[in-house]
Amino acid sequence: MKLLNNKLLKKFAKIGCQEDNPDPLIIAKFFNPTGAGTWYATEFNPKDKMFFGYVSIFGDENDEWGYFSLTELENLKGPYGLGIERDLYFSPKKASQVIKKVYD
């Protein structure tokens, strides 16, 4: 499965840059089905294939906002050759609804 489809690309383009928004809209959620790692994407630049969003690897004090690469997500392989997946049931939500520890 591709991590991005045309519908998501259009959503990212429509929302655009959210850097001045203290509670940005999370457009897509990616996760590692065989271990640690969740990536919440609020922005996507199709030219350099870079996301901006919140990255939680172990759910600890090292979780942070920053940039992450579509190419790297697509190339990550875990046990049994499984790669990163997009949460097909995730619908866009404000960051405060998803990342409680940052907004509490």
Report the C-alpha gap between 23 and 41 in whole angstroms: 13
Q: Where are the domains of the chain?
A: 6-17+24-103
Task: Write the pLDDT tens digit of every residue in 8-23.
Answer: 999 999 999 999 999 9
| Alpha carbon of residue 42 to chain centroid | 7
Q: What is the pLDDT of residue 78?
A: 87
CA-based nearest residue to 67, from 35, 44, 95: 44
Task: Write the pLDDT tens digit of every residue in 47-101.
Answer: 999 999 999 998 888 899 999 999 999 999 988 889 999 999 999 999 999 997 6
Q: What is the pLDDT of residue 46?
A: 97
CA atoms within 13 Å, Cβ hemisphere of 10:
3
